[in-house]
Chain A
């Protein structure tokens, strides 16, 4: 019931939020015209589960091949919320996947790692195809 599945589009990533299995996946590209209207419902859905305290563990898989600046802000919000849940005892692991030549994604991962220390951050550079 709490699950959320959004298929990928040319402007938005595939999103899968499956709290029963402790899983959040975001894959693809992110540059919708209105970033807030895409991410706000996702944040809302996540926050209701996280605030209930029922989630004990979460594995996050991120692989965003291109994101615009407004999307970076949205990711920061998501990890801010997850960091708060982690501080309250939820074991959260983040696999930050990016193409190894993508400096922007590598740096954003570094920022998220430093800003949200309660999340177990796993740096995952991928060899260029």
Chain B
């Protein structure tokens, strides 16, 4: 990367209010390290206690999603693992927490359905759905977090969680890029 390019990258990030950005292979160690750094950054940014907790919690649920559900990258010459990007940026009213990762395309309909159903819920319904999930005995075989992760994000956010799917290139490689955005 040319110095000038780096300068552009850095200026763009600052202009967008980015306070934290990480992209790469995710594992438990990475999550612990970036979590500690994020807390430090939020303190430096003067986030209040409530804001800071909600940003951290949302960020961690997104990180956990990548750890559990991102498509596993198995290129012969590249590193193996689950990859994702996470960012926290200043918004006019609070913070925006975003993530992006590849996921298996065959799971898109199920994930879309779940995201849409939570998007349509009023705050009281989010709370009720959370309680129901928390108390449900049977484990959802498709969801290691019982869907609680998404409901936890929705409960912290000021607006419905936004999402987008971008088919991978080439489209037939079986992966789709998923973006999530939460306004805290």
Where the two chains meet, the residues of A that have a C-beta atom closer than 8 Å to any C-beta of B are 10-11, 31-33, 66, 68-70, 72-73, 76, 99, 101-104, 107, 111, 115, 128
A73 touches B57 (CB 8 A): no
Nearest residue (CB) in B for A107 is B127
Interface 9-residue window, one of B1-9, B12-20, B91-99, B149-157:
B149-157
A69 touches B49 (CB 8 A): no
Interface assignment of B112: CB less than 8 Å from any CB of chain A: no
Please, how many angstroms separate the alpha-carbon atoms of A82 and B67 in the complex? 31
CB distance from A118 to the nearest CB of B (A): 15
A73 touches B50 (CB 8 A): no
Partner of A70, one of B32, B144, B156: B144
Query: Interface centre among A32, A68, A101, by most B CB within 10 Å?
Result: A68
- Which residues of chain A have C-beta atoms less than 8 A from B146's C-beta? 69-70, 73
Lowest 8 CB-CB distances: which A-B pairs, in order? Answer: A69-B148, A33-B28, A69-B152, A69-B149, A70-B145, A10-B32, A101-B49, A69-B145
Nearest residue (CB) in B for A114 is B131
B148 touches A70 (CB 8 A): yes
- Which residues of chain B have C-beta atoms less than 8 A from A68's C-beta? 57, 60-61, 64, 145, 149, 152
Interface assignment of B56: CB less than 8 Å from any CB of chain A: yes
Partner of A76, one of B31, B61, B134: B134
Please, how many angstroms separate the alpha-carbon atoms of A57 and B127 in the complex? 33
Please, how many angstroms separate the alpha-carbon atoms of A88 and B183 in the complex? 46
Interface assignment of B37: CB less than 8 Å from any CB of chain A: no
Nearest residue (CB) in B for A105 is B53
Q: What are 21 A-B contacts defined by CB distance under 8 Å?
A: A31-B60, A31-B64, A33-B28, A68-B57, A68-B60, A68-B64, A68-B149, A69-B64, A69-B145, A69-B146, A69-B151, A69-B152, A70-B144, A70-B149, A73-B134, A76-B134, A76-B135, A101-B49, A104-B156, A107-B127, A111-B131
A115 touches B49 (CB 8 A): no
Q: Which B125-184 residues sit within 8 Å CB-CB of chain A?
A: 127, 131, 134-135, 144-146, 148-149, 151-152, 155-156
Where the two chains meet, the residues of B that have a C-beta atom closer than 8 Å to any C-beta of A are 27-28, 31-32, 35-36, 49-50, 53, 56-57, 60-61, 64, 67, 127, 131, 134-135, 144-146, 148-149, 151-152, 155-156
B131 touches A66 (CB 8 A): no
B31 touches A33 (CB 8 A): yes
In the complex with contacts A70-B145, A104-B57, A128-B49, A33-B27 CB distance below 8 A: yes
- Which residues of chain A have C-beta atoms less than 8 A from B149's C-beta? 68-70
- Which residues of chain B have C-beta atoms less than 8 A from A99's C-beta? 49
Nearest residue (CB) in A for B53 is A102
Partner of B28, one of A32, A76, A104: A32
- Which residues of chain A have C-beta atoms less than 8 A from B36's C-beta? 10
Please, how many angstroms separate the alpha-carbon atoms of A115 and B134 in the complex? 10
B148 touches A73 (CB 8 A): yes
Please, how many angstroms separate the alpha-carbon atoms of A115 and B133 in the complex? 13
